[in-house]
Amino acid sequence: MIHDILIWPDPRLREVSQPVTAFDADLKKLADDMFETMYAAKGVGLAAPQIGILKRVVVIDTTSQDQDLTPQVLVNPVITLKEGSQIFKEGCLSVPDEAENVERAVKVAVRAFDLSGKEFTLETDGTLLAVALQHELEHLDGGLFVDHLSSLKRGLIKRRMVRLKEAKRREANSANKE
């Protein structure tokens, strides 16, 4: 099922997600829905809070950039290592049609659980996956890539997002009247 993606500055995007405690069919369904939603929006990553579900779940698929990787589901992920620095032009499904340079670590290690509750470690170096991991995990604690921008840029983007949300609301109201 494809979910609506929350658009910043929706206050739910600033909430801290809760750890997953049940590794069951509902969690598998959530991950499947998140992949379906992410692919429909043409993204490479999605965190559960972006669809209004405050669970510590992230899906990432960077296979378009690195064929050797596989799509990833990370449950209760924690970054255990960050090294180096790189600048990467990032966008976000919750901040549509915007992209800005953001400084992130080059090397990242993450400890997480899979859908069956088995713990694993994922380590990557200088790839889109490294950026995506940092970007998506930030969502779990109420962060967004715009937090790394100057207040001026953040304010300009916020105004555009408010206008976009208003246009979508008018469009939905118009469609409901027909």
- Cβ contact 132:44 at 8 Å: yes
Spatial separation of the C-alpha atoms in residues 134 and 94, rounded to whole Å: 16
Catalytic-residue membership of 15: no
Q: Check 98, 136, 166, 171 and give the catalytic one.
A: 136
Nearest one of 19, 4, 101 to 50, comparing CA atoms:
4
- Cβ contact 85:106 at 8 Å: yes
| 3-state secondary structure (DSSP) of residue 133 | helix
Nearest one of 19, 15, 165, 169 to 94, comparing CA atoms:
165
**Catalytic center residues:** 136
